[in-house]
Chain A
Amino acid sequence: MSIPMMPAGPGGPGDPGGPGDPATTMLEPTATEHGTSLWRGAVQRLRRNPAAIIGALIVLAFVVVAIIAPLLAPYQPGTGEWAGQVTPGKVPGPSDEHVLGLDSFGSDMLTQLLYGARQSLVYGVVSTAVGLVVGASLGLLAGGFGAVGGRFGKAVDTLVMRLVDIMLSVPSLLLAVSIAAVLGKNAYAIIIAIGVAQVPIFARLLRGSMLAQGRSDYVLAASALGIRKRRIVMSHVLPNSLGPTIVQATLNLATAIIEVAALSYLGLGEGNPAVAEWGRMLVAAQDRFAVDPRLAIYPGVAIAITALGFTLFGEALREALDPRSRR
């Protein structure tokens, strides 16, 4: 369930940043290509990549729909206004008033799907942001201290990484389930649960990437020139570690959207059954799957397409930032 695209995924071999860690081997921006030229080149490469364009279009469509859902949707979400028409055996299908029919709880399916995009965007972005901020801080702490070395630096690095190791020793969905179970059935719980489950991914990634940078020639050169360590980290090491982090965040958005649905499936999602949330809709439709697959297929496909969009774009971004991985 965890992050699809392996090279940057969690649970890398025990010695992060070491030669065995694919995260750094694949993602480390080359020393020759950094600064603005890296990004300019990346954009150019993105424009030439059809997968990137498709991914970007899906992401764009998703974000636009999420933002202007109230303008597009014919009705209000989650009202269950037509609940009286739903019976245990039958949910009214497409009609003139309801283009895609009703959902299991008597709300308009189209409205639910459109507002569901909004919900997914919020969950995805906020939880990834939580994971990114916390994970990156930890990674920065470890990587920053680790990169500049010293006994104290090493101790901080070890302490932080041991904590990350503990989190990594539990599979990410289990971690999310554990946290959601404690926090209860509400939006914050879901966001925190999925966010925290991403923390170790970002922490390791950033640390690994910074450590690799720390060993690179330009950093060695900078320290030889007598530039202060903090300045080296902030103005050289950090900016160059950003690329892989952004790629990972894009890919994690996809995972986050899928994991929201997984939590819903396990009964830990949003409480209100009629809420416009894809995972919840999918789960509610499960009992009627054999009779009325439409109810599950719409939200299921919506999740898959959105996740596909972020994955395509993230992958293309990775290739664009690291031309070596293309070929």
Chain B
Amino acid sequence: MLRFTLRRLALMVPLLAGLSLLLFVWVRALPGDPARALLGQRATDESIARVTEAYGFDQPVLQQYGTYMGSLLRGDFLSSIRDGRPVLEGFLERFPATIELALAALLFAVVLGIPLGYLAARYQGRWLDSVVVSGSLLGVTIPVFFLAILLKLVFANWLGIFPTVGRLDPRIDATDVTGFAVLDGLLTREFDAAWDAIMHLVLPGIALGTIPLAIIVRITRASVAEVMHEDYVRTAESKGLARSVISRRHVLRNAMLPVATTIGLQTGLLFSGAVLTETVFGFNGIGSYLFSAISQRDYPVLQGYIIFIAIIYSLINLAVDLLYGVIDPRVRVS
């Protein structure tokens, strides 16, 4: 187990090295000039030359790569061109928002997905099953941002129940301790702030959580159905054990294995969806910021953020693999 973990962690080194090289090539292949992006409509040829020089974009590419790798090795992820702040600082500031959103989405998906999937499997072939299955199919085929604006239209424009933008009502004077708005509200006993933060998570959480929800429903259904046909379940049934006991002891526990893996995998994929969801709901997380960095040609932010995301993504995948081994000793990896 430990060796496996270490090996996987060691494998991340060449992966990140390769990624950073590709990233470097990529950002420089982006058409458009960061200096012009910075200066906008007022730019003149001289002003662009000056800014280009100031940021060292006029140096030979190899030299730039050397400088870049040198600072990466020192753990320095450079500073954003746009606001001049260290990339890592900005990332850490926005990351809690994205985690919070991803957790809200996962919570929505898991809390709703597992029972629905279970019920669908129990009543396989009946109307409940059909509704759940077709609903979950629809869930994955609606474009995320279309769903997001639909939710906004219905729940905010028409019904006016949920807020549509940001993480917290600006009128609420909340104390920031950890960067996680809900947690902060609870820690500081500013319960109205915590409640408001939760309300702000509802619509984006649903929008982002719909695809994972659909997938969890389907995996749970398939997996429960499979387990229910296993010999040990039949044995238990023939022994006359109560249905609820069978469900709890045998079916659910065994069926949760693929479901747990799926949840882990979806966590990683949520980063993709977050780009769109954060944009629609004006959520100041890493997704929307990363996207705006592309249009602003903010090279250091692009390189830094994608490396951070890749690290997190790889770590999640590793955790999923390890978890898999823990849950099911049969597939423990050598």
Contacts and interface: CB of A to CB of B under 8 A. Distances in A.
B245 to A, nearest CB: 23
Interface in B215-248: 215, 218-219, 222, 225-226, 229
A141 to B, nearest CB: 18
Interface in A294-312: 296, 300, 303-305, 307-308, 311-312
Contacts of B150: 300
B41 interface: no
Interface string B17-31: 011001000100111
B49 interface: no
Contact of A174 (B211, B309, B325): B309
B15 A166 contact: yes
B306 A1 contact: no
A94 interface: no
Interface stretch (A10-18, A31-39, A80-88, A208-216): A10-18
Interface string A251-293: 0001000100110011100000000000100100010011001
B321 A267 contact: no
A162 interface: yes
- What secondary structure prevails in chain B residues at the interface with A? helix
Given A11-B269, A171-B313, A181-B30, A162 B143 contact: no
A296 B8 contact: no
Interface centre among A2, A181, A286, A289 (most CB of B within 10 A): A181
A177 B291 contact: yes
Contacts of A19: 331, 333
A239 to B, nearest CB: 27
Contacts of B22: 166
Contacts of B229: 327
A155 B320 CA distance: 26
B314 interface: yes
Contacts of A266: 275-276, 279, 291
A93 interface: no
Given A12-B265, A171-B271, A1 B18 contact: no
Interface stretch (B90-98, B133-141, B168-176, B186-194): B133-141
A22 B260 CA distance: 12
Nearest to B7: A14
Contacts of A169: 15, 19, 310, 313-314
B272 interface: yes
Given A14-B317, A304-B142, A9 B265 contact: yes
B309 A282 contact: no
Contact of B215 (A5, A172, A184, A290): A5
Nearest to A267: B295
A182 B218 contact: no
Nearest to B290: A174
B144 A11 contact: no
Contact of B143 (A5, A174, A303): A303
A304 B138 contact: yes
* Majority-rule SS of A interface residues: helix
Given A20-B333, A173-B275, A262 B261 contact: no
Interface residues of A, number: 56
A307 B291 contact: no
Nearest to A13: B321
Contacts of B60: none
Interface in A162-214: 162-163, 165-166, 169-174, 177-178, 181-182, 184
Contacts of B276: 1, 173, 262, 265-266
B86 interface: no
A2 B211 CA distance: 9
A4 interface: yes
Contacts of B157: 290
A290 B306 CA distance: 35
Contact of A11 (B15, B149, B295, B317): B317
Contacts of A18: 333
Contacts of B320: 13
10 contacts: A6-B218, A22-B258, A166-B22, A169-B314, A171-B268, A173-B276, A267-B295, A286-B149, A289-B153, A311-B140
Interface of B: 8, 11, 14-15, 18-19, 22, 26, 29-31, 137-138, 140-146, 149-150, 153, 157, 211, 214-215, 218-219, 222, 225-226, 229, 258, 261-262, 265-266, 268-269, 271-273, 275-276, 279, 290-291, 294-295, 306, 309-310, 313-314, 317-318, 320-321, 324-325, 331, 333
Interface of A: 1-2, 4-7, 9, 11-15, 18-20, 22, 162-163, 165-166, 169-174, 177-178, 181-182, 184, 254, 258, 261-262, 265-267, 279, 282, 286, 289-290, 293, 296, 300, 303-305, 307-308, 311-312, 315, 325, 327
Given A169-B314, A254-B141, A289-B149, 17 more contacts: A1-B144, A4-B141, A11-B265, A13-B317, A14-B317, A165-B15, A170-B19, A171-B268, A171-B271, A174-B271, A182-B29, A184-B31, A258-B143, A266-B276, A308-B141, A311-B137, A312-B137
What are the 4 A-B residue pairs with the smallest beta carbon separation, nearest first? Answer: A4-B140, A171-B272, A307-B141, A169-B310
